[in-house]
């Protein structure tokens, strides 16, 4: 293996669970298309994670902090941790328990040293801000079935880039269900709840307006 390898990630956020190729000590380095220069020597650090923080919350945190330096400053040993917690709780979908887990992770000297070491070796491109004026901005979208023009991950990333929230389940709060081939139970539930169901072609037409 070469000393470094270029990896283009199609994931979202820079804090979260481990995804195969590249993490900041288990804090997912993210936003669709972030590029990382990943030294082979950091493989031993790929197992650290933050409890309760998955891809969706990771993206919210990445957008909130804007860059890893700001994140590290917020959790620094000499930072005002009460202010950091209040700041975290003010983020949509981040509550007291999750804020406590984040603070606890960075309070661990081993975790913090691992993150600092990785940051010294990685080149991180900040996430793009989601659109605020797209046809689906602020809408909750669920994808189901097999899409022909893109993968589910690509569809999710595109929707989030347009300011939509992507959910894994259908509820009364769902605005659109995008149904590909073999949509199954989610399509039936959407029909029962009166949720607007879009075929893939209709979805593509909507977001291209």
User: Does residue 166 have a pLDDT over 70?
Assistant: yes
Please state the domain extents for the chain.
Answer: 4-121, 140-207
d(CA 185, CA 168) in angstroms, rounded, equals: 12
What are the tens digits of pLDDT across the range 3-54?
333 333 322 234 333 332 333 433 434 332 334 444 444 444 444 467 777 6
Mean pLDDT of 108-133: 74
Return the half-sphere exposure (C-beta side, CA atoms, 13 A cut-off) of residue 207: 24
Average pLDDT over residues 196-203: 95
Return d(Cα 174, Cα 119) in angstroms, integer.
38
Q: Which two tokens stand for residue 197?
A: 């169901």
**Amino acid 39: pLDDT:** 44
Helices 81-89 + 96-107 axis angle, to 10? 140
Q: Which of the listed CATH numbers 1.10.4100.10, 3.40.50.20, 3.90.1570.30, 3.40.50.10190 matches domain 140-207?
A: 3.40.50.10190
Residue 67 predicted with pLDDT over 50: yes
pTM of the model: 0.56
Query: Which pLDDT value is given to residue 108?
Result: 86
Q: Which CATH class is domain 4-121?
A: mainly alpha
95-114 average pLDDT score: 86
Beta-carbon count within 10 A of 203 CB: 23
């Amino acid at each position: 293996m070469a000393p470094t390898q270029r990896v283009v990630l199609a994931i979202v956020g820079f804090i979260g669970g481990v995804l195969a190729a590249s993490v900041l000590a288990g804090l997912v380095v993210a936003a669709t298309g972030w590029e990382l220069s990943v030294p082979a020597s950091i493989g031993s650090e790929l197992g650290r994670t933050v409890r309760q923080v998955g891809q969706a919350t990771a993206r919210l945190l990445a957008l909130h902090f804007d860059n890893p330096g700001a994140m590290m400053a917020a959790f620094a040993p000499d930072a005002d941790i009460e202010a950091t917690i209040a700041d975290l709780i003010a983020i949509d979908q981040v509550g007291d328990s999750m804020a406590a887990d984040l603070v606890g992770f960075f309070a661990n000297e081993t975790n913090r040293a691992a993150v600092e070491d990785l940051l010294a070796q990685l080149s991180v491109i900040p996430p793009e801000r989601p659109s605020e004026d797209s046809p689906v901005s602020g809408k909750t979208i669920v994808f189901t079935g097999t899409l022909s023009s893109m993968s589910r991950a690509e569809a999710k990333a595109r929707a989030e880039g347009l300011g939509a929230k992507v959910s894994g389940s259908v509820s009364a709060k769902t605005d659109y269900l995008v149904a590909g081939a073999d949509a199954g139970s989610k399509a039936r539930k959407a029909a029962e709840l009166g949720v607007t169901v879009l075929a893939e072609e209709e979805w593509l037409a909507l977001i291209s307006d």
